Every structure is written in C-alpha cells, then in structure tokens.
Amino acid sequence: MPRYALTLEYDGGPYMGWQWQDHGPSVQGAVQDAVARLNGAPAIVYGSGRTDSGVHALAQVAHVDLLKDLRTDKVRDAINYHLGEHPVSVLDARRVGDDWHARFDATHRRYLYRILDRRPRLALDRGRVWRVPVRLDVDAMDVAARELLGRHDFTTFRDTNCQSKSPVKTLDMARVSRVGDEVHLEFAARSFLHKQVRSFTGSLVEVGLGKWEQDDVRDVLDARDRTACGPVAPPYGLYLVSVTYPKAS
C-alpha cells in the first residue's frame, strides 16, 4: 500500500481539534472521510501532532496509506474535492517510504501566535487573532521570552490534562516582534506540551501589560506549578506554521 505525506492548512474554528472525536467534528475526521471516498475504503490519517479546538494550521503534516498507487497531484486534488465545504485544504501530497511517520519522524515544530493590540473590536480578523485592547510592550515581552529558551521542566506551562510522559522539553526559539499592526509570538521545539504555547503567550502578555517583570517569568518557570501560570491565551490566535523532517524524508 503506497504511503503519502500530506501538507494541510485549515481553519480550526469549526472543529474540536485535529484528533478524531466521537462527540464532535475534527479535522482528522473530515480528512479521513474525504480519503475514504477517494480510496474506496476507510483509511487512518496520522497527523504530526494534535492541535487543540479552535487552533489553526498553515502546514500541518499527515500521512495515509492508500490502496492504489496514484499520482500525487491526483491525491491532492481528489481529497480536496471530497472535502467539499470543509475549511481544510491539502496543499501538497508526496510519496514517502512505508516506514515514514508524520508524527514520529518530525524533528521540529514551529508555532505562531497572533495578537492585535488595539482598542477597536475586530471585524475582519475575528476568530483569527487575539485582540488585546491595550498596546503591549513588545520589547519587554521579547526579553522575557528568552527566559523560556533551553531545556526545562515546563510543568507551570503544561495543561493539567496533558498526556505527555514528561514535562521536560527543549524550547529552541521564543521570539516576540511587532509585524505591522500585530504582535507575533513565535515558538519552535521538537515537541510541545498540551497548551504550552498558549500558556507561554498568556504569561508574556502579562509582561506586555506591565503586570509582570522579566524575572516573574523566570520565577513561574522555576516554580514548576501550574497555578503560577498566567492566563491561558485563547486558541483562535494560534497557528501551526511548519513541521520539519530530516532531509532524506
């Protein structure tokens, strides 16, 4: 059975997350239904990771085994056709080895969190960006974000329902910058804990509002206590930007 890697973008707003749910719509479920119509039989679509309810993706990666050896452009176009009105699109499909795995072979994941720090309410970007009605001190947020870099026990920034075996992760990038009218927070690591990026974001916004200092971020990190975390940012400002694999993949 030929295996295909799929790169997808989606609006996470209508879904309960990437992972299939028996009590609500999921991105994985929508893609699997489309694949089944192409394939003539059910097939499991394995994602590079789970995005939470309401979280978007610019380049989620998944893989699926099909019954027939089809051209990659046909796989892409046929799945998109069968997705119908779902706000999910397959951007690319490519053949990969039988042992290639979208989740376990991934070496790097990058996320972007978008904030619009303005007083007027949102019209065009509602559900795509978090509006904070006070101008944020981006420079202070960027300096504080550096406290999170490296290998740490991130219990403070880990959701209580996280299923990861360990709270210890290595954060390779934490950057805050102003891009046009928006504030962008970028994070990269091999893997993340449940709601880790949203927890980072909410705490760094406390710095941007002047409620926390740089040292407060270090203190709550060292506390290893979930109750020390700042408010968790809403899901709709978060985007899975990219997933990286070894060059030979």
Which residues are annotated as catalytic?
A: 52
Beta bridge partners of 188: 110, 173
DSSP label at 17?
A: B
As a whole number of angstroms, the distance between CA 108 and CA 30 comes to: 25
Distance from the Cα of residue 167 to its chain's centroid: 18
Per the CB < 8 A criterion, the answer to whether 184 and 169 are in contact is no
Contacts of range 215-223, beta carbons closer than 8 Å, 24 or more positions apart: 216/144, 217/144, 217/145, 217/147, 217/148, 218/147, 220/156, 221/147, 221/148, 221/152, 221/154, 221/156, 221/157, 223/156
Per the CB < 8 A criterion, the answer to whether 55 and 130 are in contact is no
As a whole number of angstroms, the distance between CA 142 and CA 137 comes to: 9
